[in-house]
Each structure stands twice: as C-alpha cells, then as structure tokens.
Chains A and B, each alone.
Chain A
C-alpha cells in the first residue's frame, strides 16, 4: 500500500515494531470503533526524545537510596543503630517497587497516547492521567487546514514537532503533539483528505 506524502508517494512497509513512534500501516493494531474497510494509515506517538526527562528522573531515583546511604555515612548518621539490616532491605525493596510502578505508569502513558490517521478520519487517544482519558475523532472531510510546526533546538535536531489540524467538526482543532516527522505527517493527512474528497459520499475505501 502506498502512503501518499503529497508529491512524493513513498512505498511504505508495514510497521511491525510495537514501540514505533512513526508507524505507517501498523500490524496488529486496531481500535474499538473501527468501521469495516477502515484502515489505519499512520500511527503516531510522542517522539522518543520526549522520554529523556523521565529517563533522567528514573536514573536519579534509582541511585538516590545509595546516595542517601553514602551521605548518611559521611555525616556520621548511623542508620544501622535505628533499623535492622532486614528492615533497611525492606525499605529499599519498597523504594524500588514504587520506582517500577512509576516507570511502568510513565511507559503506558507514552504508549497509549496515540494519534491515528485512517483512510476515513483522524483520531486522538488522549491518556492524560491515571483517571483521565479522552478520545476525539474528526472525519477527513471535515479537515480544513493542517500545519506542521517544528520549534526549538531539540525539535529541529531530532525532527519532531506538533501538527495542528483545523476541522469543521465538534472539536475545532486537533493537535498532534511532539510527533516525529511532522511535515510528513501533514503531507500524509492532506493526501488522505484528497483521496477522501475524490470518493463518493459515504464510500469507505
């Protein structure tokens, strides 16, 4: 299947990598309100670089107990006089279990915050917090304007940014935030919009 990128039609391979942040034609991915004949053309997640602050936080939290023990020793605070070795071990275990939970939460937050482009619409799966998730849809026929924006050093260097999509639908503006190759994403959306315009009303192809 060809993914229309404007003037350049790029032959795309199906994406089998489940962690892909820019996944044309992802294999094994679907969504609950997918219509018959509706195909996912592009799946997008936030660029992997946006996980660097979380990674640094993880590294700091990973070594924090060891640093705390060294500092306590350096200032002469004797933790062993307060707690048994087994209790200190349990405290460390609790810390690392909390850390595993935090890392897993950050990962699923990234993994399930997904933008989809299908041959019929754009979909924004927003997983904003532990108790807050939102899904927004806009039909391709409602899309009025698509503008990619790459801002800042990291965006330019790693080629990621935002794609703003103006629609005539219920939600007037969609924003694909920190996605890889925003210009290619915009071209793919406009290509699908053009294909949609050439179809008969109600046709799914």
Chain B
C-alpha cells in the first residue's frame, strides 16, 4: 500500500512547516557554532596547544558552513 503524502498533508503547507522548523534549527546551529568558536578561542588562550590554530580554523569553517546553509534554506528550500 502506498501512502500518498497529499492525503495526509497539504503539500505546500508541509513544505512551509518543514522550512520554518529547519530555519529555526539552523539559527540555533549558527548560535551554537559562534559559541563553540568563542569557547575554542578562550580555551586556546588559557591552554595553548599545537592543535589550537587548527581547532580555531575548523570552528571558523563551521560558522561559514552554518551561515551558508541557513542562507541556502531561506533562499532555495
């Protein structure tokens, strides 16, 4: 038996609901990435290690990724 999604939900309203939830989660993810970046920065100052610059780089890339994904969902989804 095949369940057609249109029977369960109106297709358009479901897409809008998914988009809204996704945007909310991605905003939280962006805030999370900023906090992680700050934590890495602070811990890197308190406890400098050879891996510190790499961790700062990864956390910066993650902020970029989180921002790009948020913009992608807002614009394309």
- List 18 additional A-B contacts (Cβ < 8 Å) besides A90-B22, A97-B66, A125-B47: A18-B49, A18-B50, A19-B51, A28-B48, A29-B49, A29-B50, A30-B47, A30-B48, A32-B45, A76-B3, A77-B5, A81-B6, A91-B18, A97-B29, A101-B29, A104-B36, A105-B36, A108-B43
Chain B residues with CB under 8 A of A100: 62, 65
How many residues on chain A are close to B (CB under 8 Å)? 39
- Residue on B nearest A32 in the bound complex, by CB: B46
> Nearest-CB distance from A42 to chain B (Å)?
14
9 cross-chain pairs, A with B, having the tightest CB-CB distances, nearest first: A82-B5, A28-B50, A18-B51, A112-B43, A81-B5, A76-B2, A18-B50, A32-B46, A29-B49
Q: Would B69 and A114 count as touching, CB distance under 8 A?
A: no
- Cβ–Cβ contact A104 & B59, under 8 A: yes
Residue numbers of B with Cβ under 8 A of A are 1-6, 9, 11, 14-15, 18, 22, 25-26, 29, 32-33, 35-36, 39-40, 42-43, 45-51, 55, 58-59, 62, 65-66, 69, 72-73, 76-77
A-B pairs with CB below 8 Å: how many? 107
Q: How far is the CB of A24 from chain B (nearest CB, A)?
A: 15
Nearest A residue (CB) for B42: A133
Question: A87 — which chain B residues lie within 8 A by C-beta?
Answer: 15, 18, 77
When C-beta atoms are compared, the residue in chain A nearest to B22 turns out to be A94
Q: List which A79-108 residues lie within 8 A (CB) of chain B.
A: 79, 81-83, 86-87, 90-91, 93-94, 97-98, 100-101, 104-105, 108
- The CA of A27 and the CA of B47, in the complex, are separated in Å by 13
A68 interfacial by beta-carbon distance below 8 Å:
no
Known contacts A94-B26, A130-B32; A78 and B62 CB within 8 A of each other: no
| A135 interfacial by beta-carbon distance below 8 Å | yes
**Most B CB within 10 A of own CB, among A26, A77, A82, A135:** A82
By a CB distance below 8 angstroms, the chain A residues around B77 are 87, 90
Instruction: Give the complex CA separation of A133 and B22 in angstroms.
Output: 30
Would A77 and B47 be within 8 Å (CB), given that A101-B32, A130-B35 are in contact?
Answer: no
Tell me, yes or no, whether A58 is within 8 Å of chain B by CB. no
From residue B6, how far is it (CB to closest CB) to chain A in Å?
7
Among B3, B14, B25, the one with the most A-chain Cβ atoms within 10 Å of its Cβ is B3
